[in-house]
Structure 1
Amino acid sequence: MKLLPMKGKRHPNGYVERRGKAGRLGRSIYQRYQDYPHFQHDFCHLEADTVQGKAHQGAVITLVEWFSKVEIILNIQQKSTECVNKHLNQWLSQQLKHLFKLITFDNGKEFTGWKEIANKYDISTYFAEVRAPNQTWVKRK
């Protein structure tokens, strides 16, 4: 297999990352398999992600229930921790208590306030590995 050289620069000279670094935010997705070995067969598991609008105008949170594949889309206007927590809090407060047992996030900076949601609604939270956001989806057997 031949690797192709990267064309151009990823960032211009003098580029400084101003958004901060999230790193590993919480428990690994691999811990989820130990804590909930049969989560694929229960109606309880949400996969969460954010989608940014064109030219960074607006954003939405997508919540997908793993077993039924029901998708909930919350319009959050802005991809920030405060907006994500506010809208998740509003939506979860309208649901039955203990309806959802766990949420799996990618390691986006917008999910750094996960502890507030997890503690308030008693929901286990797990995170994909750093730089592997596609890990939240697991192939159904």
Structure 2
Amino acid sequence: MEKNILNRILYFLGIEDENPVSTEDRADYEPYVNRPEIKPKGRVINIHQTSKNKMVIYKPASFDEVREISDEVKSRRAVIVNMEKLDKDSAKRVLDFMSGSIYALNGTVKKIGPGIFIFAPDNVDISGTAIEESFQEKSFLLK
């Protein structure tokens, strides 16, 4: 009887379970450990085992080169495309095709200048403000 009251007091204080596990059952019993869940901040890679990431620059003369550009992004390389040589219609077609390719690969597109875009796969992070925006701010200050 005293043991029963002592067990209830210990249970009330949170020191012992109400129905303690017998020594025979303890071999199969694994107590639950309350650990805080740790979420990974990002992918950890060994810098000594990876090859260098490459960036490719294209200045296409026609829409026919867009497949080659898209293949570079599929190969997980960032691509800078300068469309200054192209007429407006061809440049729009290249931009539309590449935007679709980047969307399918979960990548990103950033405009870095007039007619110049960077297409990056999901393994390449692009951060910072676009050069185009800084040109507009400077021209505003000069007026």
TM-score calculated relative to the size of structure 1: 0.27
Larger helix fraction of residues? 2
Tell me which of the two structures has the higher relative contact order, counting C-alpha pairs closer than 8 angstroms and 6 or more residues apart.
1
TM-score calculated relative to the size of structure 2: 0.27
User: Which structure has the larger Rg?
Assistant: 2
